[in-house]
Structure 1
Amino acid sequence: MIDLRTLRENPDVVRASQRARGEDPSLVDSLLSADESRRSAVSRADSLRAEQKQLGKLVGRAQGEERTALLAKAKELAAEVKAAEAEQSAADQALTEAHKRIANLVEDGVPHGGEDDYTVLKTVGQPREFEFTPRDHLELMEGLRAVDMERGAKVSGSRFYFLTGIGAQLQLALMNMAMQQAVAAGFTMMITPSLVRPEIMEGTGFLGAHATEVYRLREDDLFLVGTSEVPLAGYHADEIIDLSGGPRRYAGWSSCYRREAGSYGKDTRGIIRVHQFDKIEMFSFCAPEQAREEHQRLLAWEEEMLAKVEVPYRVIDTASGDLGASAARKFDCEAWVPSQSAYRELTSTSNCTTFQARRLNIRSRDADGKPQTVATLNGTLATTRWIVAIMENHQQPDGSVVVPRALRPYLGGQDVLTPVK
């Protein structure tokens, strides 16, 4: 949720943010109206309760007919208080609903536009010039017996797969390398739950426009997470945490589940767009004034990992219309995929400012000891999709794949993955 003080003091900033996202700016007026109605209802209920308290003192001192009259008035006032409290409760609910419909404020400097209107901040490395026709990742992985798509579909349906043999080892190697880097940088390692309560999923902003992407277990009223960002954000829900020593950072390893609603016909070959994958996610809680610097640090750690797998990539500043509801700014790192002659996303890091923490009631104490809402940020450190870029960029004419040097210790020292005859 956005800060209501910003709404009251400068609603035009919120309207501009809504327009930049391609969202309805009239929702800002609805929220202003709901806020005013709620404050009016609270004032009326408080006034009546104060009157009721004063009347109670008079009743205690009165006798005879005066007491009878005061008791009758007290009964009427009690009914008014009850009605006012009901009105306040309804106003609270209306305010909450209107508040949830407003996305986070877009950070200054974010490029305007939609999915294709990003700004390329930098490009690292040059796409390789092949002296042979490069294979795509699926052909390479099948030659290595690293994946079984057919049996994945047989067991679970389309967009599911088995990572087999060296494929499974490669994923574990990637995850372990990412986790070791995170721990070395001071992150606390976490293996997170795959199922979360509705209030945690909603608190992170995933039940808005992208709710169709989320798997739900209705009988248990739980949701499967699409990223460990969700349980990590909820880890400190309803807590006041100590940030006196600087940002509190976690690295979560989880399996992730996405319905891929609306992606029919897109990336149906291989493991680029699938329903289940593994991921290491960085997550940071920090003071709001530290959030922009922390965002740059998360991006730098992502680039450090990309350097280790030796693939060409670019960093893009995502346009305002392509931000998730929680993000004020998002940087993506996209690796070159030779078979597609295109850059494809491998990492994403978002500054969610105080938006998620306000929903989840996560605070820290400022220098005066007063509780203040914290900022939250997240960033990808490795996913199953990285295998695509590694396979395609490091392939050899015979279908073998050279293992990036930094990854070799996590694969028992193997330097080349050789096709199985």
Structure 2
Amino acid sequence: MGSMDAQASPCNNTSDPLCYEEASGSLAVIIIPSLLAMSTVVVLTGLLCALGRRRKASPQRPHLPTCYTNHGQECVSISPAAPWEIQEDWALEGLEFCETGRYGPVCRGTLRREDVTTAVLVETLRGCYNPTMAEEFVDWILFHGAVCKHQNVVRMLCCQTQRIPMYIVLESCIPGNLLQYLWSLRNRDVESLDSLQHFSERSVYLVAKQVAAGLDYLLSEHRLVHGYVAARNVLIGSGLSVKVSGLGLAFEARQCQTGKQANWRAADVPVKWQSPEQMMKQPTTDRSDVFSFGIVLYELITLGSPPYPDLEAQCVLTQLHKSYRMKRPNNCGVPLYDLMKYCWMWNFKDRPTFSAIIKLLESYMYLADNKDLCILEDIDISDYSRRAGVRL
């Protein structure tokens, strides 16, 4: 029995080093995990206390409004464009429907701010049943707020995103659309004209310079290509002041840069306003806008005639490749026509930049005729639509 006890309890002798070593190992198994557990509790407690203090110190994020469908179903929660929200003492007056836009009805009217009234266009989001469309509409608002800060680009005045209907209010001009203004100048009694209706070749230079300035701003300040440069996408106001509008394709490009998708379609640009590279579905550049700007010069000097009047839309690319260019219009001086042809160079690298175009317009302006342009032929809308290849 004694020998068996000695074998079963080898560590009764605490002076034995082997016995001390084994006892220490047993204590380590107990103490070390306990210390690790205690330190973990202390660290977690400290983190939770710090987070609690941070939450208490920082202001609470304001509750974002939720918009609902007509049936009361929640569809999307949207962050408002707070800096541009319409103020309580502002009022939209005299709204009249003018067209259906990408997002819904577009109306003309006036914005009253205290005793000041401004002509405006109001683009409204059609209901709120589509969260993706609602989010894109807010991006459209923020795009205008960030980009449109030039006197020759249409600006946003305010918006509404915190309640239904959501809308964006853009500044407008009187008389308004440049193409329709050019049509109004046809077949007129020159002796009874008011100051706004005096429109000469020199006026073409003044208007063109402002269009070029707006497009140059979009490129130089925001690296944006307009994509649909045409007289119908320009607004004209008193004193022949001009603002570039129709920024849907520029917005789409910005959305792509930020990894988002927009539903604007480049295919909506009529062929006769496209550059050769656009017609061939190649990437567009600022020089693509320059080609289209040459078409705008043609529209201006012809008081809104359709481009390539002798060609069907499907034949334009082939003829351009064969070096065909529109002939010099009546009332068009040689310097202005040379600028058109410069813009219409086949290779986009051979076309001028907008900054160069502005300088050319300034240097040629003194050569421009100041006699009122007059074309006796009225515009037939259906005939124009057919020859221009556009739907009006």
Q: TM-score scaled to structure 2, two decimals?
A: 0.27
Instruction: Point out the structure with max Rg over C-alpha.
Output: 2
1 or 2 for the larger relative contact order (CA 8 Å, sep ≥6)? 1
